[in-house]
């Protein structure tokens, strides 16, 4: 049995929104509403979904950048849910993050070598080792050592993303949470960064939690995929299960909505009606019923259970068997 690195049980993250009109009550946005999943050592697990589905919040809760409202997070069999900042520090070294926007996530007033060095200082590594490590890291991510003396604005988007990756790698983490790492990049550069992430995973035996809205990227990088809709996982399975045998109607619609770079391909497309509902006021029953082409009366009142359909393939829909 492969080793579980992170175990997430029923985590919820609710945000207090604006106060309701003439009321003391606050509107509650259930950004993440009861997620349970494992991340296995050495794998890439992807979270996919559209804007507002809670995928980024999940990443932040795992890193404890946000305090979960409920539920527990285990890292390497240790519960880290309620640890304070000091107790958490050794775990921070094990999990690092790569952000979406390579323009906003690097301090413009620091030199590249200082940016990469910073996590090493925090974790108390001596100056000589730090210097050596920074140069090593620059080369690992495909930059030159002389780049260390420059400032972020001197680099292109792709190069900045490499700097962000070097910073994440500095403390030898085991888990990297990559939140839309290639969404801001042009296709030709996107391919460079995806290849780099793949090489690094092999070389350093990294585990990735890959957050993305782009299904073609997800298919390329993942071992397993979790599809999210309005704060919940609606389907989770291996890459093959999700892309070749999707069970949930949302996954099917999402896959059929992706434009494919082949002009001869004529597909029957499932076009969903309507918009993504407001997470502050999610629909009753199955949250997807307002847009689902197969929704029945039952879907409006009863929330479907998240159940296994064999071989580690999970889905939350009343009619998985009927729709197969």
Partner 1 sequence: MVEHVLEVNDLQTHFYSDAGVVRAVDGVSFSIKKGETLGIVGESGSGKSVTSLSIMRLLRDTPGKIAGGEIVYNGRNLVEAKESEMRKIRGNEIAMIFQEPMTSLNPVFKIGRQIEEAILLHTKCTKQQARERAIEMLTAVGISRPDKVVDSFPHQLSGGMRQRVMIAMAMSCDPQLLIADEPTTALDVTIQAQILELMKKLTVDFETSILLITHDLGVVAEMCDRVVVMYAGRAVEESDVYTIFENPKHPYTQGLLASTLTLGEKVERLQSIPGNVPIPSKMPEGCKFAPRCPHAMERCWAEEPTYDAYSENHHVRCFLYEEEAK
Q: Footprint of partner 1 on this chain (CB under 8 A)? A: 50-51, 156, 158-159, 186-192, 194-195, 198, 213, 215-217, 219-220, 243, 253-265, 269, 271-272, 275-276, 291
* Pick 69 or 192: Cβ nearer partner 1: 192
Q: Smallest gap, in angstroms, from Cβ of residue 279 to partner 1? A: 13
Decide whether 74 or 198 has the Cβ nearer to partner 1: 198
Q: How far is the CB of 236 from partner 1 (least distance, A)?
A: 19
Question: Which CB atom, from 202 or from 297, has the smaller least distance to partner 1?
Answer: 202
CB of 193 to partner 1, least distance (A): 9
Q: Which is nearer to partner 1, 59 or 158 (CB)?
A: 158
8 vs 206 by CB, closer to partner 1: 206
Give whichever of 62 and 221 is closer to partner 1, judged by the CB atom: 221
Q: What is the 3-state secondary structure (H, E, C) of the chain?
A: CCCEEEEEEEEEEEEEEEECCCCCCEEEEEEEEEEEEEEECCCEEEEECCCCCCHHHHHHHHCCCCCCCEEEEEECCEECCCCCHHHHHHHHHHEEEECCCCCCCCCCCCCHHHHHHHHHHHCCCCHHHHHHHHHHHHHHCCCCHHHHHCCHHHCCHHHHHHHHHHHHHCCCCCEEEEECCCCCCCHHHHHHHHHHHHHHHHHHCCEEEEEECCHHHHHHHCCEEEEEECCEEEEEEEHHHHHHCCCCHHHHHHHHHCCCCCCCCCCCCCCCCCCCCCCCCCCCCCCCCCCCCCCCHHHHHCCCCEEECCCCCEEECCCHHHHC
CB of 192 to partner 1, least distance (A): 4
Minimum distance from CB of 217 to partner 1 (Å)? 6
Min separation Cβ 91 and partner 1, Å? 33
């Amino acid at each position: 049995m492969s080793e579980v690195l992170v175990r997430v049980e029923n985590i919820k993250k609710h945000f207090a929104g604006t106060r309701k009109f003439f009321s003391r009550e606050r509107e509650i946005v259930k950004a993440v509403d009861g997620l349970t999943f494992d991340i296995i050592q050495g794998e890439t697990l992807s979270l996919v979904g559209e804007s507002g589905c809670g995928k980024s919040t999940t990443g932040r809760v795992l890193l404890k950048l946000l305090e979960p409202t409920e539920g527990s997070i285990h890292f390497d069999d240790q519960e880290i849910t309620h640890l304070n900042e000091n107790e958490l520090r050794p775990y921070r070294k094990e999990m690092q993050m790569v952000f979406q926007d390579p323009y906003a996530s690097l301090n413009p007033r620091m030199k590249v070598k200082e940016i990469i060095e910073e996590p090493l200082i925090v974790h108390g590594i001596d100056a000589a080792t730090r210097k050596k490590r920074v140069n090593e890291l620059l080369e690992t991510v495909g930059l030159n050592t002389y780049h260390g003396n420059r400032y972020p604005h001197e680099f292109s988007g792709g190069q900045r993303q490499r700097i962000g990756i070097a910073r994440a790698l500095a403390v030898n983490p085991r888990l990297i949470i990559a939140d839309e790492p290639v969404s801001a990049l042009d296709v030709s550069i996107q391919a460079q960064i995806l290849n780099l992430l793949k090489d690094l995973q092999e070389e350093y035996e990294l585990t990735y939690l890959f957050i993305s809205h782009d299904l073609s990227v997800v298919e390329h990088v993942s071992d397993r995929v979790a599809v999210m809709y309005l704060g919940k996982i609606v389907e989770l399975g291996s890459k093959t299960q999700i892309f070749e045998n999707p069970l949930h109607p949302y996954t099917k619609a999402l896959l059929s909505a992706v434009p494919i770079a082949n002009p001869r391909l004529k597909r029957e497309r499932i076009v969903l009606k309507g918009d993504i509902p407001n997470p502050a006021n999610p629909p009753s029953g199955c949250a997807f019923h307002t847009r689902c082409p197969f929704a029945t009366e039952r879907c409006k009142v009863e929330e479907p259970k998240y159940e296994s359909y064999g071989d580690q393939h999970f889905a939350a829909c009343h009619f998985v068997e009927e729709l197969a």
